């Protein structure tokens, strides 16, 4: 039985992990697209549907009312009220009828600001009821295949590995893997691994994000399982040397932040399936989490404000090589995977995103 469908596990916990998975997909694609605004939660759900329809069904069921605006709820109620045993009224038919009416008014009106606004509102509600088709949104094109370089990128990373390649607007390619948890009882959070490959120089750099749910903007660091997970990230990443350059220095001779590649990403708790999808979006280096673990014993919005960066800043800095690990060879990455058993760490939900730079401009 899947973790998300396992009713022996607290529904609130499953919902938190479903939301974290959605945020991780949203964040990975937003990093890859390099645009001012992140993709919407709806578009992130589209991608989950494209990657794994079964997992999409399970996740969307836990977040069933996530994007039900008041307009959507109104037309659901109206359709139910108008329906009879002999005739079922569909909300989308009522919306289409109202859109047609407002479009007629729009053509006749001189001052059409609020009529146009209403049409957009109705169109947004209509989209909720339309079948989910990833190709319709044109966020990413899935018809690309990454050229095989001596078989390197055709090698599976995980057991039963499956992935999809998407073409990006800048001609780069994004490979996404969304892995199911193997052991439902051991789920603590969601990992996002994001790697950027330079195919010309055969180098890669990366960042790992551990998502954790906090309630009322507080995350206690005294829990034994929480401590073990932070310790694992510290041992596997911080102490592996990727937070230092080739000379063993944490700071580059060039202008950039320290070579930090392990981050904790607090996410908001959803009280129920009606809760609005909002995330704080702060990224805290694990070394800073350790400091707060020794002093405050908890993370709060107040004590991380000078130790963390927002989602947008994280995306920009990581894309500009001002944040994340140093560049390493493909072989070094393989040895890292092998020595730390990365390919066996599928007992949690994991999103693995790999961006491949096809035409990197020399500076």
Instruction: Give the C-alpha distances (Å, rounded to integers) separating 179 from 40, 165, 192.
Output: 21, 15, 11
What phi and psi values does residue 106 have, to the nearest 5 degrees? -60, -40
- Residue 328's nearest CA partner among 232, 237, 234 is 237
Q: How far is 327 from 196, CA to CA, in rounded Å?
A: 9
Q: Chain centroid to CA 50: how far?
A: 14
Q: What is the pLDDT of residue 135?
A: 40
Instruction: Write down the pLDDT at residue 167.
Output: 84
Q: What are the structure tokens assigned to 269, written together?
A: 């708790």
Q: Which tokens sit at 198? A: 């330079």
How much is the CA Rg of the chain, to the nearest whole Å? Answer: 23
| Cα–Cα distance, 234 to 250 (Å, whole number) | 15
**CA 3 to each of CA 10, 62, 159: distance values in angstroms, whole numbers, following the listed order:** 10, 12, 18
Domain layout of the chain by residue ranges: 40-138, 139-357
CB 227, CB 248: distance < 8 Å: no
Q: Both tokens of residue 96? A: 């289409």
Residue identified by tokens 């073990």 is: 228
DSSP state of 163: -
List of residues 6+ apart from 16 with CB closer than 8 A: 213, 267, 269, 270
pTM for this predicted structure: 0.75
Q: Which residues contact 340 (CB under 8 A, 6 or more apart)?
A: 236, 240
CA 215 vs CA 43, 52, 142, 297: distances in Å: 26, 29, 37, 15
- Two tokens, residue 3: 């973790």
| Average pLDDT of adjacent 10-residue blocks, the chain of 363 residues | 82 88 92 85 85 87 70 92 94 95 92 91 82 48 56 72 82 86 54 92 92 85 84 85 73 80 86 53 91 92 91 92 91 85 64 82 41
Look up residue 339 and give its two tokens: 């020595």
Cα torsion 61, 62, 66, 71 to 10°: value is 40
Q: Do the Cβ atoms of 212 and 17 come closer than 8 Å?
A: no
CB under 8 Å to 235, separation ≥6 — which residues?
none
Note whether 325 and 242 are within 8 A (CB): yes
β strands within 23-133, DSSP E: none
Task: Find the Cα–Cα–Cα–Cα dihedral 195, 198, 204, 210, rounded to 10°.
Answer: -10
């Amino acid at each position: 039985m899947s973790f998300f469908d396992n009713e022996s596990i607290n529904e609130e916990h499953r919902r938190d992990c479903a939301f974290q998975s959605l945020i991780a997909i949203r964040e990975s694609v937003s990093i890859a697209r390099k645009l001012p605004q992140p993709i919407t939660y709806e578009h992130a759900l589209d991608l989950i549907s494209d990657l794994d329809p079964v997992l999409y069904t399970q996740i969307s069921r836990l977040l069933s009312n996530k994007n039900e605006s008041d307009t959507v709820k109104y037309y659901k109620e109206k359709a139910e009220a108008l329906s009879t045993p002999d005739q079922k009224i569909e909300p989308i038919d009522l919306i289409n009828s109202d859109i047609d009416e407002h479009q007629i008014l729009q053509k006749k009106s001189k001052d059409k600001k609020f009529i146009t606004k209403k049409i957009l509102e109705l169109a947004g509600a209509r989209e909720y009821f339309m079948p989910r088709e990833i190709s319709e949104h044109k966020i990413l094109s899935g018809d690309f295949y990454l050229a095989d370089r001596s078989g390197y990128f055709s090698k599976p990373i995980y057991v039963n590995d499956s992935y999809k390649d998407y073409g990006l607007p800048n001609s780069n390619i994004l490979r996404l893997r969304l892995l199911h948890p193997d052991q439902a009882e051991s789920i603590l959070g969601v990992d996002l691994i994001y790697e950027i490959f330079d195919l010309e120089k055969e180098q890669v750099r990366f960042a790992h994000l551990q998502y954790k749910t906090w309630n009322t903007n507080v995350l206690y660091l005294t829990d034994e399982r929480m401590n073990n997970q932070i310790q694992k990230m510290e041992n596997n990443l911080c102490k592996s040397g990727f937070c230092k350059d080739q000379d063993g220095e944490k700071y580059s001779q060039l202008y950039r932040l320290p070579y930090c590649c392990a981050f904790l990403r607090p996410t908001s708790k959803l009280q129920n399936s009606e809760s609005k999808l909002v995330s704080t979006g702060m990224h805290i280096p694990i070394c800073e989490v350790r400091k707060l673990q020794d002093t405050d014993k908890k993370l709060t919005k107040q004590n991380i404000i000078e130790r963390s960066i927002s989602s947008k800043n994280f995306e920009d800095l990581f894309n500009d090589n001002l944040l994340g690990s140093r560049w390493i060879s493909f072989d070094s990455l393989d040895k890292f995977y092998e020595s730390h058993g990365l390919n066996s760490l599928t007992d949690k939900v994991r999103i693995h995103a790999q961006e491949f730079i096809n035409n990197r401009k020399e500076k």
